[in-house]
Amino acid sequence: LKRKERYDKMEVHNRLRLQYTRRQGKSWQLQSTFNLHSLRSRGTGISLSQRLRYEKKWAQTSALLSYFRTPNYDTRIFQYEPVVSDQFHFPSLFGKGLRLVATGKFALWKKRLMAEVLYGLTRFFDRNTQGNGMQQIRSPWKNDITLQIRLRI
């Protein structure tokens, strides 16, 4: 519960996060999350996400699929996403859509060479453009690709 002043009025934000994590053996992990952000005067936004993770000594992979639906930007949902090492990402999800993030981390050459890759895909159902000005994307699809290679000497 959070009270915040906006336009000389106090708004009450209600946020709820329910999360269930299950490990299957040493290698598999499944995580389900439900997020809710409610504003009395603006409506309620929700997101449902499912994350699957596999881990071995030399490789780790993760996939996250999220469905989100919010009536406006004020009821947006913030969600942690898996990323490459030494980074973090909490995007705000608003509107109606799906978000898929897949990551892979591989240790090669006696763990001296590390390669990490991330692919993110967002599909909006309520708009055909994203952003504005020079940053505008004229599509309901958005792709993100990150590649990181590290060599330990």
pLDDT tens string, the chain, 153 residues long: the values are: 677 766 777 788 889 999 999 999 989 999 999 999 998 888 999 999 999 999 998 899 999 999 999 999 989 999 888 888 778 888 889 999 999 999 999 998 877 899 999 999 999 999 999 888 898 889 999 999 999 999 988
Identity of residue 68: F
Which pLDDT score, from 0 to 100, does residue 40 have?
81
Residues 6+ apart with CB under 8 A from 31: 19, 20, 21, 22, 50, 51, 52, 53
> What global pTM score does this model have?
0.85
How far is residue 141's CA from residue 124's CA, in Å, rounded to a whole number?
7
So what's the pLDDT on residue 5? 66
